[in-house]
Structures are given as C-alpha cells and as structure tokens.
Amino acid sequence: MTFYIKADRYLLESQEVFNQYIEVVDGRFGSFADTVPPNAEVVDWTGYTIAPGLFDTHIHGINGYDIMDGTKDAAKKISEAILPLGVTRYLPTTLTSSKADLDKAIATVAEAVREGLPGAQSEGIFLEGPYFTEKHKGAQNPQYFCDPDLREFQHWQELSGGTIVKIALAPERDGALEFIRRVSEEDVLVSLAHTDASYDCCCAAVDVGARDFVHLFNGMSGLHHRDPGVAGAALTNSRAFAELICDGYHVHPDIAVLASRVKDDKLVLITDCMRAGLMPDGHYHLGEFPVVMQQDGVARTEAGSLAGSTLKLIDGVANLHRWSDKPLYEIWHRASLSPAKSLGRETEMGSIARGKLADYVVLDDELVVQATAVAGEMKYRKV
C-alpha cells in the first residue's frame, strides 16, 4: 500500500523540512516530493508538524497498570495508553522482585506481544534488576538483591522467547564483569544502575560491554571533582549512552542541559513512568512498595525516595527543549533516534528517513499530539 503525507513541517535528524509530501510504502517511509502523482492517496496534515514516533526504553506502567502486575492486560493497556502521548515503541520494564513474580511478568509480557499489542509496539523486555546494591536502591526492593547469575538470566530469556534486550545491574557485584561480557555478546544492552561502583569499576564494565547508564544522577553515586563516581563515568565515557528523566524533579534543569551538551546524541530521554502516570494524586504501589503521588505528579515511597515518575515522554522533550538553546528537531530525536541507537535499531526506526518504519506523530504548534501512526497505520487520532 502506498500513500503520501502532506504537512507544513517535518522534524528530521539534522534539519527541518517544510511544505512537502512524503511517500509511505508498505509501512515504511519513502522519499520527499514537491508534488504527488495523479489520483495518489494523500493524508493531509496541512497546518501541522510530523515528527518520528517516540521510543520509551524505560517504562514500568501508566494509567493504573504496571508490568509487574503479571497480566497480559497490563502490557496491552500500557501499549494503548502511551499511543496518544506520541510513543510508538517501548520496552516493558520490570523491577526487582521475587523470582516467581519476575517469571510471571516476563512470561505474560511475551505472550501479550505474541498475541499482538493494540497501540505502541514492544521492542523487547527491559529487566531493571535484581542485581543491584543497597546504597542507591531507590524504589527497588533490597530483599531480592543478589549477584548476577547467568543461568538465571538464561532462564528468563527462555521464558521471554528471546525477547529480553536490556538489563540493568550494579557492576560492583560479584561476577558482574563476566556476566556483562557474556550477555553483551548476545546483543543484550547492559545498563549500569542502582550502584555505588567506583569510576574505575564503571569504566571496566564499559570495557567488557556495558553501553548504558540508567537514569543519570539517580540511583548512582554523584559527580565529584576528585571522585567522578558513576555519574562521572556516564558523562565522560563516549562509548556509553546515558538515560535522563527530564521532569525537573529527578534532575535540575541546568544539569539536564549540561548532560545534553556533554552526551549529545548518546543522551536518551526516558520516563521511568509507573502506574500513577495519567492518574489523579493518591496512593499507589510500585512493585511491593506503597507510594504516594502528591501535587505536581511527584511519586515518593514512604521513606521519601522518588518512586519512578509520572512523566510523559513528550513532556520530557518539551522541557529539555525549553531549558536548552537547542532546536526542537535535535531534542526530539533524543527520545526517538537515540533510544533506537542504544539498542542497535537505528536503521529500522527512530527518524523520518527512507526505508525506516513509518512511525510518526502529528503535532500542533503547542506540541499537542493530534495523531499517532505505527508502521504507517494510524492507531490514534484526536477527536
């Protein structure tokens, strides 16, 4: 099937294009054109901007659902809920829990994906834990922390049907470096998180295959000029991506801008959203922990720690765009192309380019999503 999109503006990787048509062939982008053939099908978005679909590589839940619910319905409802927010791809994200609960969550997500997700599409499972250390535990349950176990991971990978694509761990745990080397060889993205590792330990982890740091400045030792710590390793290592929650609470806006300048296209915007996203203030759970969401959508555990976020990824983009002096197309791709690059998927998705999947978002001048398409199919349209 072939059709054309007409719009006032397109956000590309390194520029904006104005007043053009773009061809979509069998769910993939074709070429830009000034005119279209006679009788061609045209989807007219005159007055609007077309941007690539967003890719949330770290999301636990939203709208009352959580991946750790261990139900197919949760994965499907999350898929639906993020579509009107401009997200076309996501990684269903677990958190530290009992082996039985992780088994159930992994198996049910895999089954839901096989049956077909109604909205945004899963690009694989992200295991956040359980191989963490307690000092920077955040809302992860230390009762289940343990050393990396390759046989345990392989068991989970079998349950998932080979769809675990990312795992977060603390590199200072016993056996972590060998574990990182082995799973990295299987094309699993290893992220460093909830860790008090030294700068040198983090660098050693990158040397053996780790290529990502989860929620920069949160769940890790901070930056000091004589002790760079985990945050320093994330900022200075050009081989590694760094994920950032741009809600203004997890990281100060000026530090978010600094991170953006330092990491450039290796900065990945994420939400770390939990079930309270899109919900009213009140009492919720993140895994086994009760959390309270109060004014401004900030969720905290009873001990006062931030408990994930309720951020919409498109709001993270808008925030960093507002805080920085960078053009929208550049910041937008930190939430679409950079995530795809971190997983080695950049030839398939993440930007509007010939041959890539036609995942796109229609935006008005206020960055309100008017429509979202996945592989060329319109999945959401604002009434």
Residues designated catalytic = 272
> What single-letter amino acid sits at 232?
G
**What H or E segment, with its residue span, contains residue 338?**
helix 337-342
- Which residue matches tokens 């197919």? 72
Q: How far apart are CA 379 and CA 358, in angstroms?
A: 12
For residue 188, give the DSSP letter. Answer: P
Q: In this structure, how many other beta carbons lie within 10 angstroms of the beta carbon of residue 200?
A: 10
For residue 80, give the DSSP letter. Answer: H
Measure the CA dihedral 292/293/295/298, to 10°: 110
Among the listed residues 347, 360, 351, the one whose alpha carbon sits nearest the alpha carbon of residue 4: 360
Q: How far apart are CA 68 and CA 109, in angstroms?
A: 10
Sign of the CA dihedral running 162, 344, 178, 59: negative
**Beta-sheet pairing, 360-363 with 369-374:** antiparallel
Backbone dihedral angles phi then psi of residue 287, each to the nearest 5 degrees:
65, -125
How far, in whole angstroms, is CA 119 from its chain's centroid? 16
Burial per residue of 290-322, b for 16 or more beta-carbon CB atoms within 10 angstroms, e otherwise: ebbbeeebbbbbeeebbbbbbbbbbbbbbbbbe
Distances in whole angstroms, Cα of residue 73 to Cα of each of 63, 68, 119: 12, 11, 13
Q: What is the DSSP string of 297-323?
A: G-EEETTS-B-SB---HHHHHHHHHHH
For residue 93, give the DSSP letter. Answer: B
Q: How far apart are CA 211 and CA 166, in angstroms?
A: 10
Contact present, 256 and 65 (Cβ < 8 Å):
no
